[in-house]
């Protein structure tokens, strides 16, 4: 396959209480609610998309918020940590902000010569803020509660925890086109050919680690970027030829997707950049109304009655 992965497209995780999840990611972390929709495979539950002001690939964190969901356990065979990029010299602001919301913060620590803070979301998922070298201020959501000079710009990286790392590293390097750039202890850092937001994957060797258990506070899957439907079909053919069991192309309305499990059993997705989140809302109105895919529109009244009521964030 001549095409190379462009980096992360989005990351999808599981939450429990929808309002608590929405309040934390918009009100505390200052992300924009880019799209309010339903789980296309389960329209009785929400699907939240958070990101920057435009919903650009590499900034999108999505959630399936299932009320009453049992808390999972992070461990081997999972993506375990989501790291966001913030501008340099913003660690002091973020420590104070998180403490002000009664959130326990660890750090700052230092990894690969970058400062980072570690904390947990309301369901216990591990999050980091990384003072990324060269990260520009002003790239985050300007309509939220966080001043733009400190705002999250998108993903710095995601961490994969595996009992055996070499098969996954082989896939990322030889097939996806990532380059192994640094190693620190049991952690290997890889970067896509397209540098910048969402370009880094950390793979951690955890031979004796507990196996992860899906549930609230765990990552469901990670999605990688490809630029077109044609390239996606090439990826599907190529991965199938390598022995991977790849799903058919699925229309997710705002991108098209294929899924497969990598050698460590983490669910990978390859998603197209297009058509994007402004297909059914104007850029100024992203995330302000419940959007349903065409197959569910005739059932809107029933779906809306079944979904928990939400208080949506108001742009400042």
Report the SS3 class of residue 196. coil
Partners of 191 in the β-ladder:
179, 200
Q: How far is Cα 79 from Cα 310, in angstroms, rounded to an integer?
A: 29
Percentage above 90 pLDDT, the chain: 90
Task: Decide if 314 contacts 145 (C-beta within 8 A).
Answer: no
Q: 130 CB contacts (<8 Å, ≥6 apart)?
A: 83, 84, 85, 86, 114, 115, 116, 156, 157
Nearest to 11 by CA among 218, 265, 239, 292: 218
Q: What phi, psi does 202 have (nearest 5°)?
A: -105, 130
The structure's pTM equals 0.96
- Is residue 109 scored above 80 in pLDDT? yes
Burial class (CB in 10 A: 0-12, 13-18, 19+), 35: buried
Nearest to 83 by CA among 134, 148, 130, 138: 130
Task: Decide if 204 contacts 196 (C-beta within 8 A).
Answer: no
Number of neighbouring beta carbons within 10 Å of residue 251: 12
Q: What phi, psi does 300 have (nearest 5°)?
A: -55, -50
Tens of pLDDT, residue by residue over 74-88, are 999 999 999 999 998
Tens of pLDDT, residue by residue over 226-277, are 999 999 999 999 999 999 999 999 999 999 999 999 999 999 999 999 999 9
pLDDT value, residue 156: 96
Confidence of residue 134 (pLDDT cuts 50, 70, 90): low
**CATH architecture group of domain 8-306:** Roll (3.10)
Tens of pLDDT, residue by residue over 6-37, are 999 999 999 999 999 999 999 999 999 999 99
Task: Decide if 126 contacts 133 (C-beta within 8 A).
Answer: no
Q: How far is Cα 10 from Cα 177, in angstroms, rounded to an integer?
A: 18
Confidence of residue 4 (pLDDT cuts 50, 70, 90): confident
């Amino acid at each position: 396959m001549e095409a190379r992965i462009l980096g992360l497209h989005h990351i999808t995780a599981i939450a429990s209480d929808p309002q608590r999840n929405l309040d934390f990611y918009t009100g505390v972390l200052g992300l924009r609610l880019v799209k309010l929709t339903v789980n296309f495979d389960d329209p009785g539950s929400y699907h939240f998309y958070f990101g920057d002001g435009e919903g650009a690939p590499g900034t999108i964190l999505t959630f399936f918020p299932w009320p009453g969901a049992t808390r999972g356990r992070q461990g081997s065979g999972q993506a375990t940590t989501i790291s966001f990029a913030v501008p340099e010299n913003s660690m002091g602001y973020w420590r104070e902000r998180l403490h002000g919301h009664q959130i326990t913060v660890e750090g700052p620590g230092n990894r690969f010569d970058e400062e980072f803070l570690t904390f947990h979301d309301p369901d216990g998922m591990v999050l980091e803020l990384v003072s990324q070298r060269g990260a520009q201020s002003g790239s985050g959501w300007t309509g939220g509660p966080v001043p733009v000079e400190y705002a999250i710009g998108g993903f710095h990286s995601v961490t994969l925890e595996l009992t055996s790392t070499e098969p996954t590293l082989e896939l990322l390097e030889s097939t996806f086109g990532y380059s192994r750039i640094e190693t620190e202890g049991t952690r290997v850092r890889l970067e896509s050919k397209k540098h910048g937001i969402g370009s880094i994957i950390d793979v951690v060797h955890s031979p004796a680690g507990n196996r992860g258990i899906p549930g609230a506070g765990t990552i469901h899957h990670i999605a990688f970027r490809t630029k077109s439907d044609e390239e996606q079909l090439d990826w599907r053919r190529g991965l199938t030829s390598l022995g991977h069991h790849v799903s058919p192309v699925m229309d997710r309305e705002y991108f098209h997707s294929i899924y497969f499990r990598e050698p460590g059993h983490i669910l990978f997705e390859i998603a197209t950049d297009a058509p994007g989140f402004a297909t059914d809302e104007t850029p100024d109105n992203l995330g302000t109304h419940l959007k349903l895919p065409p197959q569910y529109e005739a059932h809107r009244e029933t779906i809306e009655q079944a979904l928990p009521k939400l208080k949506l964030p108001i742009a400042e």
